[in-house]
Chains A and B, each alone.
Chain A
């Protein structure tokens, strides 16, 4: 099977700073891949290049929906990337704070629905049907991520861990084939992290969505990933299964210091 995401020699410069330096990454269908590396390694920048927030200085980004054709998406408009089927969460959660939990997810349905201004005025049967479908679909996802009891709460009033899960739910509502998670476990306690890990696993298994995630929690990364890419100062220094990464001396040296072992 072809890869869903293929990045070839991606370089992103900010002025003189090479935030991402000639890296290759790929994600296969139904796979959970992880992107790790110390702070400032360029991980978020890679995400921003994939989702069209930045236009890469050099290199190619290809995506291929399962059963679709391969497409180069360098410099794509942000909303077009989502329409193609790449959804993401943000390192610092970016919810719509004054909308309810349900509405946050409903926004995710925007690119998969059609109703226009006229439909809103007239509320004809097809608009009403679509609106109901949006509500149903969104509620289903909230049940899936375990936020069904907070549907009417404003997003800003949710505890931090729930906000992170809501962001995942919102991304799921866009029906992606590839989900990019930027530090989903940041700020979560161990129990929440376990729940999250189980959720990500379920997303992959039930919905056949591939996941590429940035994460600092080594226990989670090692436990869940099929493949790990390690960045350091914008360069890819290693790639492999959790076992390979755990034993890779370059990673241990660069990422965790000289006398350190990755235990998971």
Chain B
């Protein structure tokens, strides 16, 4: 899938092992490999790009998804992946406290460099918590408060069961369609024009400052 056909750019950020790739795999291919493949073998190198068409209100939206590597050495070049993103899914492992600290770091980065990017907080591996509530290291009220702070949404997902995975992307798509309508009203432009504009911007990336 070439990037030029994509309507929205979405980026996944978060600590290594947080479950970003699993989330994308569940969403795009509806599969979950879990323990059948050792994590070391599927650890993301750099970043991976995938795309999926989602239908909202009978309209098709193509979402381009950047699944970034959580390994710290890639941090210096993370900007090329989130630059121009309309939405960011910030993942943390509900059973790993340190992954939440890392999530805060990414929120900071986005607020500094990518103001227009809608933040979606995503607590992963809900199935583990459901099975054993003692594993939970991040409380819901904590994430809710943070989400309110950054005017973002918050989810608790499981790539194993599929819980709420598609919901994030559907929300992103409908947010996008809403924003299109708004610009339509404001600028009194045709529907297609802002769409093309929006897709062009991603590659030229004008207006980004170092």
The yes or no verdict on A and B being binding partners is no
Chain B residues engaging chain A, CB cutoff 8 angstroms: none
Chain A residues engaging chain B, CB cutoff 8 angstroms: none
